[in-house]
Amino acid sequence: MADLNIPVAPAIPGATPLHSGKVRDLYVLDAGPYAGELLMVASDRLSIFDFVLDTTIPDKGEILTRMSLWWFGQLGVPHHVLSTDVPDAVRGRAVVCRRLEMYPVECVARGYLTGTGLLDYRATGEVCGITLPDGLEDGSRLPEPIFTPAAKAALGDHDENVSYDEVVAEVGPDVASALRESTLDIYGRAETIARERGIILADTKFEFGADSEGTLVLADEVLTPDSSRFWPAAEWQPGRTQPSYDKQIVRNWALSPESGWDRSSGEPPPALPPEVVERTRSRYVEAYELLTGETF
């Protein structure tokens, strides 16, 4: 397990810290109309290779929050956001959301082959037990989108790709079917919306929970550069690593001789140079503005 070195969640008046993750901090609201509900705050932290970096990306938390809210408005599906009326200290980067019984499955939809899916395909010709055609390359568009779930790992460990049968064993056939259907339906709609704006949504992951009535509810962040691969459609070229609107800039720098970092050492990557920080922030802003049509 990587030493994540996650900072202690900052104090927020009227809210009790509950949990800190790689990027988000969760609190329970103590009073007011949403007492007992959750306050989810997106920080400016950034993680790569299961390390949370000491260097933050300015405005990242606000960009991710705005983008998720925009997508929730586009999709028209039950979601967890109750309000954007949040304490001043986290205004713009936080939402009030309802408590759900979360399903222990990362619901991944892939329309293109890359990342861990590509590694599995090269080794077995399959991704999560789904056989794919021969001859696919990095960045190839799949004949149709596929549901490739992952088991949620402990903080600091890698999520592990699993088969649909393993999801059935974990949550039951009815819930597994609903998760797969909802994941592919939302991906399909989002992929169309993104493509109309010149962006390829290569893959994405969703998290779902159940409310008190058993309704399937979309939760956490949704369709952001942290949870999705966005590629410029005009630059898409299978057979190579695609340019992307995400933290790939940081990954590439960390793995380059310039960083001086030895990934096998177990030590976290060094501080990011200012130019890498600015380029990364610019890509997040560009993705937000292209998708939403709004100026950040």
How would residue 159 be classed by pLDDT, with cut points 50, 70 and 90?
Answer: confident
- Which of 14-23, 174-183, 250-259 has maximum average pLDDT? 174-183
In this structure, the chain runs to a length of 296
Answer for the pair 70, 289: CB distance below 8 angstroms, yes or no.
no
User: Domain 101-265 class?
Assistant: alpha beta
Reference 32, options 93, 88, 86, 81; nearest CA is: 86
pLDDT at 104: 95
Sign of CA dihedral 33, 38, 39, 42: negative
Answer for the pair 226, 220: CB distance below 8 angstroms, yes or no.
no
How would residue 49 be classed by pLDDT, with cut points 50, 70 and 90?
Answer: confident
User: What is the residue type of 171?
Assistant: V
Domain boundaries, the chain: 15-97, 101-265
Q: Report the Cα–Cα distance between both ends of the chain, in Å, rounded.
A: 36
Is-same-fold flag (15-97; 101-265)? no
Q: What are the angstrom distances between the C-alpha of 179 and each of 21, 105, 165, 206, 256?
A: 23, 9, 13, 9, 38
In the chain, the percentage of residues whose pLDDT exceeds 70 is 96
Specify which residues 52 forms β-bridges with: 47
DSSP 3-state percent helix, strand, coil across the chain (nearest 5): 30, 25, 45
How would residue 1 be classed by pLDDT, with cut points 50, 70 and 90?
Answer: very low
For 134-154, the pLDDT digits (tens) are 999 999 999 999 999 998 765
Gap between the Cα atoms of 8 and 41, Å rounded = 13
**Rounded to two decimals, what is the model's pTM?**
0.92
Architecture of the domain spanning 15-97: 2-Layer Sandwich (3.30)
Gap between the Cα atoms of 291 and 248, Å rounded = 19
